[in-house]
Amino acid sequence: MYSTYEFWRKKRDEKNMLTVLRHQVAQDTSLHLYIFFKFETLQKFSDMTRQHGCTLLWHWDFTDTPLGFLFQKPIIGLVEFDCSDPKSDPAGAFFQSFFTALESRVMVSDDPTFPDKAKPLLAYDYSPATFMGTEEEKPKTFNITDELMNVGALLTYRVEIYDQPVGKANYWMEFLCVNDSRDELY
């Protein structure tokens, strides 16, 4: 399965993990770094890709779905960073705003088909009410980290701010999940 690491990091040091991860991914041409984002408009994806040196692999617009009017951020998408390019800035893209970081997820994989496999999982995790399959195809129990690891993620990373202990108002809670069956990243 996978190991989960949880730790507090000062917000001023927020980019440390993704900067280190970017450098590790840049050293191995088989590894790819992806970030899943949620935005209000497709233009925000365009602006981000231009500013942070990444490529939008796919997006899904929920505005035209039956419950689309309920979503504050109706467009989701997966971007890929070429970590060998010095203009690539996954940490800057991930932490471009407080709310972007809290609703995004970083993934690393060496499987070239990973983005296609992750798309329905990320869409279902974001909006299970819009699932367009048969009752038999609908997941019974669903944990997005489990599902991403099963389709080829070597690690996932996200941040939260809930349950901050007293005196930790300037900290993120970071969650790093590493696929135990793959030890190349250690």
Q: How is the chain split into domains, by residue range?
A: 2-179
- pLDDT score at 156: 97
Q: Quick check: helix, strand or coil at residue 186?
A: coil
The model's confidence at residue 115, banded by pLDDT at 50, 70 and 90, is very high
> Measuring CA to CA, which residue among 25, 15, 154 is closest to residue 84?
25
What CA–CA distance (Å, rounded) separates 17 from 141?
30
pTM: 0.89
Residue 32, pLDDT above cutoff 80: yes
The 3-class secondary structure across 115-134, one letter per residue, is HHHHHHHHHHHHCHHHCCCC
Q: If you average pLDDT over residues 93-121, what whole number do you get?
A: 92
Q: Quick check: helix, strand or coil at residue 96?
A: coil
Q: If you average pLDDT over residues 71-94, what whole number do you get?
A: 92
Residue 64, pLDDT above cutoff 60: yes
Q: If you average pLDDT over residues 46-57, what whole number do you get?
A: 94
